[in-house]
Amino acid sequence: GSAQGSGAMGGSASLIPRDLLGEYQELTFLSKQEILLAYKRFSELLPKEERENACSARVPKSQILTLPELRANPFQQRICHVFSTSETEDDSMSFEDFLDMLSVFSDSATSDIKSYYAFRIFDFDNDGILDRSDLEQLVNCLTGQGEGSRLSSAEMEQLIQNILEESDIDKDGTINLAEFQHVVSRSPDF
């Protein structure tokens, strides 16, 4: 094949084919610059020998979690899970998964898109609704797992009551996506 000759162009291995670049711009909220930067960051997470084919490589979850944006995020595990399209469910990411993630977290993403993904991230058991156990895990993630910061069960109960009172419009004891998006739309700083 002609793959042999591709090195002759100097740094071209680090670039995305132009047609793909256009497609990524259409499918994400990212600018061309942001996509190219994402590509550079993604390839840097790969072992050197895989960098040439970064578009088709997968980065293991352990590497994704080293990104500064995720390192301090209490939902890092869930974020990897929600954006990963890995068929083996190892939460590894392809470049397109990585772009999707950056796109949703970018300032240009619409609040509908952001809240849709937030909902999926908070839906710890992936059953399409936020129930009490999801809310409990959510609160634990937010308050930290340290002994000093854990809520007592009474405080937790009170907090979950409050969340449900605010959000559970049909009063079925769970929050569905529409209810969640309704709450989010009322609190823009969310």
Does position 174 have pLDDT exceeding 80, yes or no? yes
| Span 107-118, pLDDT tens digits | 999 999 999 999
Euclidean distance between the first and final Cα of the chain, in Å? 51
Q: Write the class of the CATH domain 111-186.
A: mainly alpha
pTM equals 0.86
| Span 3-55, pLDDT tens digits | 444 444 444 445 788 999 999 999 999 999 999 999 999 999 999 999 988 99
Residue 62's closest CA among 45, 49, 85?
Answer: 45
Q: Are 18-105 and 111-186 the same fold in CATH? A: yes
Domains of the chain, by residue range, sit at 18-105, 111-186
CATH classification number, 18-105, choose in 1.10.238.10, 1.10.1740.10, 1.10.357.10, 1.20.1280.50: 1.10.238.10
Does position 150 have pLDDT exceeding 90, yes or no? no
C-alpha span between 86 and 57 (Å, rounded)? 11
Annotate 157-189 with b (16+ C-beta within 10 A) or e (fewer).
eebbeebbeebbeeeeebbbeebbbebbeeeee
